[in-house]
Structure 1
Amino acid sequence: MKNNIITKIIIGGLLFNGLYGFAQKTNLEVDVTKTITKIQPTMFGLFFEDINFAADGGLYAEMVKNRSFEFDKPLMGWEQPNTKRSSLNMQSGTAVPIKVSGNKTNTNFCRVLINDDKGYTIINEGFRGMGVKKDAKYNLSLKAANHDGAIKKIIIQFIDKDKKVIGETSIVPASNEWKYYTAQFTATQTEAKAKLKITFEGTGTIDLDMISLFPEDTWMNRKNGLRKDIVQLLYDMKPGFLRFPGGCIVEGRTLADRYQWKKSVGNVEDRRTMMNRWNVEFSNKQTPDYFQSFGLGFYEYFQLSEDIGASPLPILSCGMACQYNTGELAPVEELDPYIQDALDLIEFANGAETTAWGKLRTDMGHPKPFNLKFIGVGNEQWGPDYIERYKVFEKAIKAKYPNITIVSGSGPSPDGEHFDFAMQELKKLDAELIDEHYYKSPQWFRENAARYDKYDRKGPKIFAGEYAAQSPAADKSSNRNNWECAFSEAAFMTGLERNAEVVNLCSYAPLMAHEDAWQWTPDMIWFNNLEAFGSANYYVQKLFSLNKGTDLLSITKDGQPLTGQNSLYASAVKDVNSKEIIVKLVNTAATAQEVTVDLKGSKLLSKGSIITLTSPNLQDENTFASPKKISPTESEYNLKGEKAQLNLPAYSVIVLKIKMK
């Protein structure tokens, strides 16, 4: 009861200030002549993790789930609708997994026995269905070994939720030996929950493996590539970097199931499928069909980084499993394989064609190096064990690749014992770039816009590697991408930008989630089998990324930075390439505010533009039904003299852009 009374008093105070406290005008000054520091091109980027079906079933456009029968239950995802099981026979036929001795990656195939010629069928359910679009083309491939030519034809069909055929093709399996077959067919209607039906004509046995289906229309039209609409959302942000393959996914629940990059490159067929750690992480969101095919592997991550103009930032295991799970440690004297993985990854990314790993990259289709500049050691480990292992990695990497910047970690929280210890020890080691993570309430983000104002300008640089405002802090399963979270992050980001001397990179997390298969919320991009959209948080990130500028400028009120006074936040930059002054303003109050920005010391053109991102309700959010409910609007702005007069709507993020003469 006491807490409730305190809460009501606080809320009442906030309401009073929101309604009555902002009548005065706020005057800001921007010194256009003096550059405080250069803004790193990596300032605003992307964090990708294979959570929420972000890879298989999401960014990676493969439509067949368990295509090579390698899930723990080898027929998961496959139905046999016309098999009538009894103690004596399988009347129509049966499909059973067969183990392959000696094969360490693709250990199973499927043996199909057809007992009569009445059309035995197997059906793949896809990733919560398959999204197919009317008149779009789809490319099917599979491996088959047709024993004694028993099977005359394989008929492949899309069926809708009512089992109606909405696209069809066929393959004639012509060899007793394993052979690849391909076919293309066109969908006759749009369906979000289609399935793939495979029917056999003939009587006898046929073996199948690597049954794969991709839309023809992928990103950059790459065969068996990435989902075009999702990559477009990433590309449109012009991100400075792409961190991959994730956070906790790097560590593994045990060391054995950590992410090992070498198993994610080379021929797709030879990449070993394994359970995704998010399969069992949350008891309230079990996803037993969540596995990693590694069709989206490190080569594809590097290629995607290049496609979207982002600097690649891979994170590798440091020999510590997730400390929230087993916390298993590789002894320091047994770290050589982990360290070699890091050194070999740099060679894979940057090495000449004459090197072993550079040759593999070349053979995969990319002779030109990927220009890797960063590598991360561990995700969010903590304690003396991490510092001890970091030292070993740092020594080995710098000895061979002194120009590679190493990302270290400060643990899973922005404060507390683990954070304080890590920061203290990493500063002693002259760490180059320290990764900080924070998942906190919207209020925390507003209150911490000045977090980096007092950080040592000569100390380690900061990578705000994972952050997101949580709408109900105690229950992540019900977190929403609401507008309050988004504009509170914007307020915090003005503080990141104002401290570009210290903060060199930052990224929201997680990046994306499947509508029907998520484990963690909120997320920046949401998708289903047919569509993808950016949340309000996405548009905040995009606004900052597209308008990061090249030079940091001072913006102050009475000589002080604006970090929440009158519920206002601000940062300012100059872009020497576009010859613009760019001012970002965030109003977190419930009422509109008048602001004057005095742009001192440079001759400016009278015409500019103003971009507004706002919504009247704290709980508003973008949805599949209304994907751009909260999205930016841009209009012309006329500057009179050196002072910009602005009316900031309640709950708004504003970007003012003025051309310099």
Structure 2
Amino acid sequence: MRSTTRLPALGLALLGTLGASAQSAAPASLTVQVNKPGAAVNKNMYGLFFEDINFAADGGLYPELVKNKSFEINPGLIGWRALQGAANLDAYAVRNEQGISQNNAHYLRLTTRNGAGGEAGIENEGFRGMGVKDGGEYTLSFYARRGAGDINGLTASLVGQRGESLGQVAVSGFTNEWKKYTAVVKATGTQNKAHLKLVLTGTGTVDLDVVSLYPKDTWNKRPNGLRTDLVQLLKDMKPGFLRFPGGCIVEGRTLSERYQWKETIGDVAARLPMINRWNMEFRHRSTPDYYQSFGLGFFEYFQLSEDIGAEPLPILNVGMACQYNSGELAPMGSASTKGGPNAGTAPHDHATDDPSLDVFIQDALDLIEFANGPATSPWGAKRAAMGHPAPFNLKMIGVGNEQWGPQYLERYIPFAKAVKAKYPGIDLVSSAGPSPDGELFDTASKRLGELKADYIDEHYYAKADWFRQNVGRYDKYARGGPKIFAGEYAAQSVNTGSENNKNTWDCAISEAAFMTGLERNADVVGMASYAPLFANVDAWQWTPDLIWFDNLNSYGSPSYYVQQLYSLNKGTKVLPVTMPGGAKNGADNLFASAVADEPTGEVVVKLVNYSATPRPVSISLAGAKGLGKTGRAQTLASADLQTQNSLKEPKKLAPQEATFAVKGSTLSYTLAPYSFTVLRVAGKR
């Protein structure tokens, strides 16, 4: 899938008009020192931050259509209801006697009444409905156990919003023992908000559990695969890394609600669901039905990273619950004195009522073995059993998410010591807290520098003008210290956390301007990712977001295309840029950075014109040799800073591509009003 389109004739005419109207203005003169390449750009510079917020996993990337398929969510009937007018359904309730397994103890018992009319059964609403496509095939599976009476089977139907049938299949052969049943439903229509109906055949009692309806059309056609259009949007970005699973869900509101990676691998049906910590965080977007099924677990995250060509970056709890919630702390433990980092590597049940820091450290060591260990190792064997005998080649992990204060630093030190002792080649990402400045930020940055941390994770959510005003943030950072991971950032159109924030062009172009500063300082900034990644249009908690979707369709925001253009044009070496008159980057709302792309021999110049008028520029490529006669321009531009993409207009603002002539070693180009432009010129240094 191409991420850019050819500039239509009208667009070319517009550029010509802009160029003509700007002839009277003196071009802004920039110099790119092609013959003086600087720092190397990390090949994984621009990546993705995934967190299960905004129904990003269940109801999003993870395409299971049934909500609460195992009846394990309290109350156990979330997502389910008795069929309307089901006169012969005598009783239904969630039970837990002799369930399928210890982790899947709850199930639904249905009892029908003799002689009454109407359908007896239940229906599932899905995640704000179920998206089904005409001709699409969906695998229905469930466990059933027959009790007293003669119930022999059921009929499963896809039902539209007006009650119309969209496909059905009958399943029979129930016995008095738990047994898994599988069938395929073929949809006869397309709907965004269908639901699943299960109607019993006969009368009596039957138990049901693990009711699943899963599309066959998944990424790489995997049985537990991911949603194709959303993975394609990720792959199209050519991301350098994938950070997962968050975000604040790593921490949990309490330590008992923390993300525990060991509970998310193995048999999907045996993974114990848990309420998502975002379900009641914001009163204005309360979602009490939001939970994590963990069908998308750590194995699937590693697999996704591999599929899209990104380095995996798992983030692990450091013994601290979210400090915005309970701030609960694990006891420090004694990792340095009790057995050291090599103790306890065998798989074990690590869930305790009062886990010490040792438990969290051991989880990290076991995760590295799960990802990289041979198939003969205890945790490597678990990976191999899931179908991936080869290592995932994990190179980095995050120690905590967004913690701050002395409690974090005192836990980080033994955590880092233990991991480095056993796996010295693993890079560690440490936290500088939720704010980009202030006493806590300064203290953490200073101490982590003294500890020679590999990466310090900095976060900034701020209004759009902050990003333009702070384009020089990393110009003044000391060289030779820890690398910076700009791990979470996004321009806010209103205020941080406001429900009224929008993914406007003003936000995206301001991020583009800021990123020229990241690129210019590639010797300091090693990785960067926008956040959050996904949002369901019907079930979001936080905005703005990079990619939006409903049950059938998806689109990238203007910020998505900014991130994509940087990732596709990241180059390999920074090239110094002198701004007009020696001014600072961003003076007069003109922002620039440049890189050499050594494998292709091209020079790449990125330019942001944050002004309402066209701007001619003259760019001297100092020291360039053998330049080609044409160059390629990719442009995002809109005179309306409030422009947004939508499901109806997914590419209202998307990159437009054109060519331009190159004469000698000087480029002349006219930047459109409010535009982000990437110029690529073939040449040799």
TM-score (norm 1): 0.94
Residue aligning to 1:95: 92
Contact 2:461–2:496 (CA under 8 A) maintained in structure 1: no
Corresponding residue number in structure 2 for 1:630 = 653
Moved over 6 A (4+): none
Aligned AA (1:288): P
Confirm or deny: 8 A CA contact 1:555 1:562 kept in the other structure. no
Identify if the C-alpha distance between structure 1 residues 547 and 165 changes in structure 2 by more than 3 Å, giving closer, same or farther: same
2:595 paired with 1:573 = yes
* Preserved CA contact (<8 Å) 2:28 2:580: no
Instruction: Show the counterpart of 1:641.
Output: 664
- 1:609 and 2:632 aligned: yes
C-alpha distance in 1 between matches for 2:487 and 2:582: 27
- Which residue of structure 1 lines up, in the alignment, with residue 13 of structure 2? none
Q: What amino acid does structure 1 have at the position aligned with 2:661?
A: N
What does residue 288 of structure 1 align with?
A: 288
2: distance between equivalents of 1:98 and 1:34? 71
What letter corresponds to residue 202 of structure 2 in structure 1? G
1:191-243 deviations in Å (ceiling 9; x for gaps): 11100011011111111111001111111111131000000000000000000
- AA at the equivalent of 1:636: T
Whether 1:419 and 2:441 are equivalent positions in the alignment is yes
Asked if structure 2 preserves the Cα contact closer than 8 Å seen for 1:154 and 1:173, the reply is no
Q: 1:407 aligns with which of 429, 454, 468?
A: 429
| Equivalent residue, structure 2, for 1:468 | 490
Please report how far the alpha carbon of residue 414 of structure 1 lies from its aligned counterpart in structure 2 after TM superposition. Answer: 0.2
Query: What percent identity do the matched residue pairs reach?
Result: 56
What number of residue pairs does the alignment pair up? 637
Q: CA deviation at 1:264?
A: 0.5
8 Å CA contact retained: 1:555, 1:561: no
Q: 8 Å contact 2:89–2:110 — kept in the other structure?
A: no
SS at match of 1:486: helix
Asked whether 1:385 is paired with 2:407, we answer yes
Q: Are the aligned partners of 1:351 and 1:357 in contact in 2 as well (CA < 8 Å)? A: yes
Correspondence list, 1:246-261, <5 A: 246-261=246-261
Deviation at 1:632, TM superposition (A): 0.3
- Match of 1:277, SS? coil
Worse overlay, 98-107 or 446-455: 98-107
Superposition RMSD in Å: 1.6
Does 1:105 find its partner at 2:103? Answer: yes
Which deviations, in whole Å up to 9, do the C-alpha atoms of 1:467-508 show, x marking residues without a partner? 000000166100000000000000000100100000000000
Verify the 8 A CA contact 2:94 2:107 in the aligned structure 1: yes
| Segment drifting more, 470-479 vs 592-601 | 470-479
Contact 2:622–2:665 (8 Å) recurs in 1: yes
In the alignment, residue 186 of structure 1 is paired with which amino acid?
K
Question: Secondary structure, in 3 states, of the residue corresponding to 1:332?
Answer: coil
Structure 2 equivalent of residue 297 of structure 1:
297
Please list every run of 5 or more consecutive structure 1 residues that lacks an aligned counterpart in the other structure: 1-18, 85-89
Alignment match, 1:550 = 572
Residues 351 and 559 (structure 1), Cα distance of their counterparts in 2 relative to 1, 3 Å cut: farther
Q: Which amino acid aligns with 1:308?
A: I
Which residue is 2:65 aligned to? 63
Q: 1:6-85 alignment to 2 at 5 Å?
A: 23-82=25-84
Q: TM-score, structure 2 length as denominator?
A: 0.91
Per-residue Cα deviation, 1:257-306 (whole angstroms, up to 9, x for no partner): 01000001111111110100001111111101100000000000000000
The equivalent of 1:9 in structure 2 is: none
**Equivalent position of 1:11 in the other structure:** none
AA partner of residue 189 (structure 1): G
CA distance in 1, matches of 2:254, 2:423: 29
SS in 2 for 1:279: coil
Offset at 1:91? 4.1
Once residues 290 and 382 of structure 2 are traced to their aligned partners in structure 1, the CA distance between those partners, rounded to angstroms, is 29
Q: CA deviation at 1:50?
A: 0.1
SS of equivalent residue, structure 1 residue 390? helix
Matches of 1:266 and 1:222, distance apart in 2: 15
Helix, strand or coil: the match of 1:438? strand
Query: In structure 2, what is the Cα distance between the partners aligned to 1:635 and 1:79?
Result: 55
Matches of residues 443-522 of structure 1 in structure 2 within 5 Å? 443-473=465-495, 476-522=498-544
Tell me the CA shift for residue 552 of structure 1.
1.1
- Structure 1 residue 148 displacement after superposition: 5.9
Quickly say closer, same or farther: Cα 1:411–1:201, change in 2 above 3 A: same
In structure 2, list runs of 5 or more residues that go unmatched.
1-20, 334-355
Q: Is this contact kept in 2: 1:248–1:322, CA < 8 A?
A: yes
Amino acid aligned to 1:403: G
Instruction: Check if 1:376 corresponds to 2:374.
Output: no
Structure 1 residue aligned with 2:681: 658
Is the Cα contact below 8 Å between 2:138 and 2:185 reproduced in 1? yes
In the other structure, the counterpart of 1:347 is 369
- Residue 15 of structure 1 is matched in structure 2 by none
Q: For 1:101 and 1:571, how far apart are their aligned partners in 2?
A: 64
